[in-house]
Structure 1
């Protein structure tokens, strides 16, 4: 059992938050040039390092780029074995590029449902993960249908033992990219009325293709970057620029009374510093005072 080295005990839950994989049939490059398959494989390689520490993998939408059945099969084939090896739950969330019936069949093993919203709940060690469908059939902007809000209200009527995390594609926060405002989540006040004052600890979103955070109805919001490609927030004003780089996903650590989200860059990067596990073993074996001397004291240049 790990030794507590600082103020806070270890996290109670670890969630990998991925978004916007945008796979195509046959694993074809997106736009003829972006290797979405290779990018997701690199993300999966990062996740393998976590092993059994991982409690859930949440994918917040745009799993497929145009809703093709083979695209869903391919993403599932990458992430499902990873989740199974870690004994982690795998939670799929609808996005605007997804198609509901193909999504149900390809990822949830459900029958088509007359284009009804794809909402579902997963319980992970006392934490309730709620996946909301914010897609609008035939459009790219988002909205939560009345039946979705009624369903959500019913789900939140009783608090979960360790709180709730809500995941949806269209994150309910502002963006500095003007054109994305057209594709935002509509009627956000209705969503706020349902979740305000409940046991929701965190809202997870995607859609923006860059990692960011904010708050909504007094609740932290964490947006994962895309594994497919990244929107350049520093692009010239009034422009919308997607770049083949800067890919990332997020890790969510739930602590008692705290939520921490971290961005993980995807790719192979040269290691320039660090310590191996045996050094942590050594630190844990020391007294608190000796730990400070061993690791905190500045050494002569």
Structure 2
């Protein structure tokens, strides 16, 4: 089984809009797809959330106009998770309702060779952190009670891993113990996530977790000192299982390229070397107050 993992495209309805006044996100995605056009034997194309920046129906139409034919050329199924910038009700107007009670965009997709992708919607309206409700975890348990022939891939935007920076730790996923209990002993072979915008690997219990780098930018978790910054790069990952054992660990390959959507507003190509954003501690506090957990 081969899985192409994309994440964090942050598309807009307005083609002239730029992410952080810098990145033309549709151009960034087009270039990534062009870089990946030579792939073969892909069973599943996963987009692990923050598909849209503005949550508009038009942005989701644009996403599928780009990803549907790309996945079809690969002979792969496409699955899209909801992230903190996404609006599930707007996405439903393009992709239809989820596989159980609204408003969740939780879905099950089975590939032709019997592998299964289960998508969980971790978005919280108006917030940056992630959460799974009890009804979602109950639904997940029912799905996983019947194993898939080639195993299950779990897709959710917010990673079930400790984040590398203070900002991302304030916007991480609630309820890791509950999720771990729901999947332990099942056929889940890997969890694929986004949100952090940089590559990261770990485990939730015994299950491998992979976070792919963002398409719209790549966070620099090591070089920022007391700042939080992202660079004008785009990335993607390829997740492969050898098929010899249902317990085999995935082989994960990640690539990062210069961001083709980086269009400096002042026309200065030297701007490409500067971070897309560079938040100091005060800016981070403001983001956490606006999008972090509500403390009662």
TM-score bracket relative to the smaller structure: 0.7 to 0.9
Corresponding residue number in structure 2 for 1:251: 238
CA distance in 2, matches of 1:142, 1:219: 19
Q: Counterpart of 2:201 in 1: which secondary structure?
A: strand
Asked if residue 178 in structure 1 is aligned to residue 169 in structure 2, the reply is no
Q: Offset at 1:47?
A: 2.4
Cα 1:142–1:268 shift into 2, 3 Å: closer
Corresponding residue number in structure 2 for 1:102: 90
Q: Counterpart of 1:80 in 2: which secondary structure?
A: helix
Corresponding residue number in structure 2 for 1:136: 124
The runs of 4+ residues in structure 1 deviating greater than 4 Å are none
Asked if residue 59 in structure 1 is aligned to residue 50 in structure 2, the reply is no
CA distance in 2, matches of 1:103, 1:261: 29
Asked if residue 266 in structure 1 is aligned to residue 257 in structure 2, the reply is yes
Task: Indicate if the aligned counterparts of 2:28 and 2:259 stay in contact, CA closer than 8 A.
Answer: no
Greater mean deviation of Cα atoms: 220-229 or 255-264: 255-264
Task: Indicate if the aligned counterparts of 1:42 and 1:267 stay in contact, CA closer than 8 A.
Answer: no
Asked if residue 122 in structure 1 is aligned to residue 113 in structure 2, the reply is no
Asked if residue 168 in structure 1 is aligned to residue 161 in structure 2, the reply is no
What is the aligned length?
A: 253
Pairs within 5 Å for 1:24-35: 24-27=12-15, 28-35=17-24
Corresponding residue number in structure 2 for 1:298: none
Q: Offset at 1:72?
A: 1.0
Normalised to the residue count of structure 1, the TM-score between the two structures is 0.80
| RMSD of equivalent CA atoms | 1.9
Corresponding residue number in structure 2 for 1:296: none
Q: Offset at 1:48?
A: 1.5
Corresponding residue number in structure 2 for 1:242: 230
Q: Counterpart of 1:255 in 2: which secondary structure?
A: coil
CA distance in 2, matches of 1:236, 1:17: 26
- CA deviations 1:166-203 (Å, max 9, x no partner) are 00000101122012111110111111110011111100
Corresponding residue number in structure 1 for 2:287: none
Q: Counterpart of 1:184 in 2: which secondary structure?
A: coil
Of 200, 203, 211, the match for 1:212: 200
Corresponding residue number in structure 1 for 2:2: 14
Of 204, 208, 227, the match for 2:215: 227
Q: Counterpart of 1:152 in 2: which secondary structure?
A: helix
- CA deviations 1:179-236 (Å, max 9, x no partner) are 2111110111111110011111100000000011111111100111100011111233
Corresponding residue number in structure 2 for 1:6: none
Task: Indicate if the aligned counterparts of 2:213 and 2:236 stay in contact, CA closer than 8 A.
Answer: yes
| Larger radius of gyration between Structure 1 and Structure 2 | 1
Q: Counterpart of 1:183 in 2: which secondary structure?
A: coil
Task: Indicate if the aligned counterparts of 1:39 and 1:266 stay in contact, CA closer than 8 A.
Answer: no
Q: Which runs of 5+ in 2 are unaligned?
A: 261-296
CA distance in 1, matches of 2:138, 2:184: 14
Q: Which runs of 5+ in 1 are unaligned?
A: 1-12, 270-301
Task: Indicate if the aligned counterparts of 1:166 and 1:202 stay in contact, CA closer than 8 A.
Answer: yes
Q: Counterpart of 2:170 in 1: which secondary structure?
A: helix
